[in-house]
Chains A and B, each alone.
Chain A
C-alpha cells in the first residue's frame, strides 16, 4: 500500500457503509484501500490508478461482463463475491479461453456492514487467487438506503484464446454429443433453501466454481472438435440447450436417465414444483462435441475433480422446430422447454 497517508483504519467489526464512502472523497479511498485492496492485493491495484495497463500477446482475446444481484447474499457454498468471480471467469472460459484479468464494480446500499462487505471482498480475492486471475481495476458507488438490496456487483473479464479455437453455437452439427460436467440444479436449490419464506433443511451447497481449468483439459483432449461450450446458469440446462438449438437450427434428443441430478436436489425440486433442468448452476458446463471425440473429451472431464460426474446425455438431431426433446425415465417422450415465468428471481 503506497498511499499510506490517506489511511485511517476502518472499523470493520462495527462500522457500516455510509453515503460519504461513495462521495469520492477521503472516505471512499479509505474504503477502497482498507477493504478492497486489502482483499484483492496485487501489483496493479497497488498503483492506485483509475485503470490498469497490462501487456497483450498476439492472437485473439475474449471479453465478457456480468452483474450479480443474488439474494440472499450469503448462501451455502459461497456468496455474491465468489459468485461474481466464478461467473465471469466461466463466461470467459466457455470460449475455450484462459481468463487473465477482472474488473469489479460495486453498488452498495447505505448501511451495509463493513464486516459483510469484507467477507464478500475476501472471498472474491480468494476465488480470484485460486483461479490465477487478478482483479486489476474497480469502482464503488454508494446509494441511499432502500435503493439497492444490500450489494450489487458487476464484473468484467478478459482472457486469451489459443490459436485455432472458435467455439460457437452455430457450429453444432447433427450427431454431435451433448456432455454435461456434473449434477444439475445444485446452485439454485442451495439459494432457495436459504430464502426467507422457503428455508428448508437440505445438505446441498452451491456448485459455484471456476471452470477454466476443466475447460483447459477438455480443449487439450478435444480441440476444435468441441463445437460449443456454455455454462447453464439462469434457466438451467433447458435454457442453454434451447438457445443452442435455435442458434444452430438443430434439435436435441436427451435421455432423462443419463442426466445427473442429486437425489436431494430432485426431492427439493419436487417439493417446490420445479424442474431441475430449469434450475441454475454456477459450476457446470455443457459441451457439444463431435461424436468421434466425445468419449475422449468425456474421459478427460471425468479425470478432473470438477467433472467427475460428467455424463453424455444425448445428441444433436435434425429438427426444423429446434426442439429439445427427451425420452423420460418412464419410457415416454416430452419436450424440455425454456422456463417461462419468474419463479426464481435473483438467483445469480
Chain B
C-alpha cells in the first residue's frame, strides 16, 4: 500500500484542512458537489466532513451508476433473466437494486433465474464460452470508465464468433448529466448559487479528458476541479475550489494530473466509438430523460444488442413516492431529509437505489456518517 499511503497522510491532510479553514471566507457559504459516487464514498469513508469548516459543505452528486439506473431498466433485466434460456451476468451491486413491486435480481435468482455475479466483462466471455447452449447476456452499466471494457468484450466476442453473448446496454455519459443538474429547475428556482463548484470525476476524466468540462464551466460560471480518488486528492481539490470561488474564477482545473490528461485516452475513446453510438435520450433516476446521455450498440453490432435480440420493452415503472433518491441525486436534498432513511430503508432493505451501492449517497451516509446526525441531535437537545 506504499503508493496509496502517501495519499492518506494525516499531517498533510491537517495542513490542507487548515488552509481550507483560513482561506474560506466565514461570511460566505461554499457548497461543492462531488459528481462521482467514488468521491462520495471517500468523503464518507475517511470522515472528510469532520476536517472541513462548517461553511464548506459537500453535496453528493449523481455519479453512482447503480443509483441513476431507472427502475424500468431493472424490471427489464428481471423479465429477461426469467427466460429459461437466458443467463444474466451482472455486477454485484445490481443484485439488490429494487425493481417494481418489491422485485430485485436477487429475488429473481432465488426464484430460479440464472443470474451470475461477475467482476469483469471477461467473466461474461468465459461463461458464454462454457455454456454455448445458453444465451448469456451482460448487464452493462456505468459511466465512461466502464464503457471501454464492454466495448472490448463485444469486439472479442465478435472475433471469437461467440453467438450466444449479448449486452443489455445501460451505459451513460457524465457531461450531459452535469449539464442537466445545472439546468435543473429545482436549482434555478433558488438561484444557481446552490452549487458553488464541482469536484469532477477521476477515472471518467482519465478517459474523456478535461475538455468536455470547459464549456460547462464557462456556460454556467461554475468552477470545476478534477480530482483523484484518494482522500488527499479530495482535500486538495476542495482547497482549489475555495480559491476559485474567492477569486471569482470559473475554470476547469486538474488536480489529478498524475492520471488525467487534457485530451483523455484516445485508444479507449476509439474503442468505445467503434462499438457504441448515442441514444437520442436516456432516462436517469432523479434527472429524468436527458438528451444524448446514453449509449447503444451501433448497427454493425446489432446482433450483440440484447434489447434487439430479445425484443425487450421498457414499461413505465413507479418508484416508491416517499423515496427522495431523485432529489438527492440532483443535490437538492440530503439523505436525512428522507422520511424512510434509516427506518424503512437501510442497506439490508433498500427502498431506493441510493441505499444500495456503497457509492450511493444514502448508503454512504448510513454506513459511515449517521453517527454525526446523532451528535447533532444530541447537541441541539443539550
Bound-state CA distance A266–B2 (Å) is 11
Q: Is A337's CB under 8 angstroms from B4's CB?
A: no
**Quick one: CB contact mask for B351-382 with A, threshold 8 Å, 1 for yes?**
00000001000000011111110100000000
Q: Is A330's CB under 8 angstroms from B371's CB?
A: no
A197-B1 contact in complex given A330-B48, A331-B50, A334-B47, C-beta closer than 8 Å: no
B6 within 8 A of A: no
A321-B374 contact in complex given A332-B51, A340-B347, A340-B348, C-beta closer than 8 Å: yes
A interface size (C-beta, 8 A): 24
Bound-state CA distance A197–B10 (Å) is 36
The residue in chain A whose Cβ has the minimal distance to the Cβ of B50 is A332
Which residues from 316 to 341 on chain A have a C-beta closer than 8 Å to any C-beta of chain B?
A: 321, 323, 325, 327-335, 337, 340-341
**Quick one: CB contact mask for B1-38 with A, threshold 8 Å, 1 for yes?**
11010001010011001000000000000000000000
**Quick one: CB contact mask for B326-367 with A, threshold 8 Å, 1 for yes?**
000000000000000000001110000000001000000011
Which residues from 195 to 252 on chain B have a C-beta closer than 8 Å to any C-beta of chain A?
A: 231
A328-B347 contact in complex given A197-B123, A335-B370, C-beta closer than 8 Å: no
Bound-state CA distance A337–B347 (Å) is 10
Q: Is A331's CB under 8 angstroms from B367's CB?
A: no
Q: Which of B13, B96, B346 contacts A330 (CB 8 A)?
A: B13
- Please give, as numbers and ranges, the residues of chain B lying within 8 Å of A340 by CB-CB distance: 346-348, 367
- Please give, as numbers and ranges, the residues of chain A lying within 8 Å of B269 by CB-CB distance: none
Q: Which of A266, A267, A330, A342 contacts B46 (CB 8 A)?
A: A330
The residue in chain A whose Cβ has the minimal distance to the Cβ of B41 is A273
**Quick one: CB contact mask for B99-128 with A, threshold 8 Å, 1 for yes?**
000000010000000000011100100100
The residue in chain B whose Cβ has the minimal distance to the Cβ of A269 is B1
- Please give, as numbers and ranges, the residues of chain B lying within 8 Å of A11 by CB-CB distance: none
A5 within 8 A of B: no
Q: Is B13's CB under 8 angstroms from A334's CB?
A: no
B293 within 8 A of A: no
A328-B367 contact in complex given A197-B118, A340-B348, C-beta closer than 8 Å: no
- Please give, as numbers and ranges, the residues of chain A lying within 8 Å of B348 by CB-CB distance: 340
Bound-state CA distance A273–B368 (Å) is 15
The residue in chain B whose Cβ has the minimal distance to the Cβ of A267 is B1
Q: Is B4's CB under 8 angstroms from A330's CB?
A: no
A270 within 8 A of B: yes
Q: Is A330's CB under 8 angstroms from B366's CB?
A: no
**Quick one: CB contact mask for A284-323 with B, threshold 8 Å, 1 for yes?**
0000000000000000000000000000000000000101
Q: Is A197's CB under 8 angstroms from B92's CB?
A: no
Which residues from 98 to 134 on chain A have a C-beta closer than 8 Å to any C-beta of chain B?
A: none
Q: Is B1's CB under 8 angstroms from A337's CB?
A: no
A53 within 8 A of B: no
A263 within 8 A of B: yes
Q: Is A263's CB under 8 angstroms from B14's CB?
A: no
With most chain A CB atoms within 10 A of its CB, the pick from B45, B47, B366, B367 is B47
Secondary structure call for the A interface: loop
A324 → chain B closest CB, angstroms = 9
A4 → chain B closest CB, angstroms = 46
Q: Is A331's CB under 8 angstroms from B92's CB?
A: no
A163 within 8 A of B: no
Bound-state CA distance A334–B368 (Å) is 5
With most chain B CB atoms within 10 A of its CB, the pick from A321, A327, A328, A343 is A328
The residue in chain B whose Cβ has the minimal distance to the Cβ of A257 is B10
Q: Is B47's CB under 8 angstroms from A341's CB?
A: no
Bound-state CA distance A263–B4 (Å) is 11
- Please give, as numbers and ranges, the residues of chain B lying within 8 Å of A333 by CB-CB distance: 47, 50, 371-372
B290 within 8 A of A: no
The residue in chain A whose Cβ has the minimal distance to the Cβ of B93 is A341
Q: Is B1's CB under 8 angstroms from A270's CB?
A: yes
A331-B14 contact in complex given A263-B1, A270-B1, A321-B371, C-beta closer than 8 Å: yes
- Please give, as numbers and ranges, the residues of chain B lying within 8 Å of A56 by CB-CB distance: none
- Please give, as numbers and ranges, the residues of chain B lying within 8 Å of A3 by CB-CB distance: none
B44 within 8 A of A: yes
A185 → chain B closest CB, angstroms = 13
B95 within 8 A of A: yes
A183 → chain B closest CB, angstroms = 13
Bound-state CA distance A248–B358 (Å) is 28
B49 within 8 A of A: yes
The residue in chain A whose Cβ has the minimal distance to the Cβ of B3 is A267
Q: Is B358's CB under 8 angstroms from A332's CB?
A: no
Bound-state CA distance A340–B374 (Å) is 21
Q: Is B47's CB under 8 angstroms from A330's CB?
A: yes
B158 → chain A closest CB, angstroms = 23
A332 → chain B closest CB, angstroms = 2
- Please give, as numbers and ranges, the residues of chain A lying within 8 Å of B48 by CB-CB distance: 330, 332
Bound-state CA distance A333–B4 (Å) is 19
Q: Is B17's CB under 8 angstroms from A266's CB?
A: no
The residue in chain A whose Cβ has the minimal distance to the Cβ of B359 is A273
- Please give, as numbers and ranges, the residues of chain A lying within 8 Å of B367 by CB-CB distance: 335, 337, 340
- Please give, as numbers and ranges, the residues of chain A lying within 8 Å of B4 by CB-CB distance: 267, 270
Q: Which of B17, B347, B369 contacts A341 (CB 8 A)?
A: B347
Bound-state CA distance A77–B358 (Å) is 31
Bound-state CA distance A330–B231 (Å) is 8
Bound-state CA distance A340–B360 (Å) is 14
Q: Is B50's CB under 8 angstroms from A335's CB?
A: no
- Please give, as numbers and ranges, the residues of chain A lying within 8 Å of B368 by CB-CB distance: 334-335, 337
Q: Is A331's CB under 8 angstroms from B347's CB?
A: no
Q: Is B366's CB under 8 angstroms from A337's CB?
A: yes
Bound-state CA distance A325–B45 (Å) is 12
Q: Is B46's CB under 8 angstroms from A334's CB?
A: yes
Q: Which of B46, B123, B346 contacts A328 (CB 8 A)?
A: B46
Bound-state CA distance A184–B342 (Å) is 29
Bound-state CA distance A333–B368 (Å) is 8
- Please give, as numbers and ranges, the residues of chain B lying within 8 Å of A321 by CB-CB distance: 371, 374
B136 → chain A closest CB, angstroms = 14
- Please give, as numbers and ranges, the residues of chain B lying within 8 Å of A335 by CB-CB distance: 367-371
A277 → chain B closest CB, angstroms = 11
Q: Is B95's CB under 8 angstroms from A342's CB?
A: yes
B35 → chain A closest CB, angstroms = 19
Q: Is B371's CB under 8 angstroms from A325's CB?
A: yes
Bound-state CA distance A317–B278 (Å) is 55
Bound-state CA distance A155–B348 (Å) is 30
- Please give, as numbers and ranges, the residues of chain B lying within 8 Å of A325 by CB-CB distance: 371
Given contacts A263-B2, A341-B347, 4 further A-B contacts (CB under 8 A): A328-B46, A329-B10, A334-B371, A337-B347
**3 tightest A-B CB contacts, nearest first:** A332-B47, A340-B347, A334-B368
* Complex A-B: 6 CB contacts under 8 Å: A197-B118, A197-B120, A331-B10, A331-B13, A334-B44, A342-B92
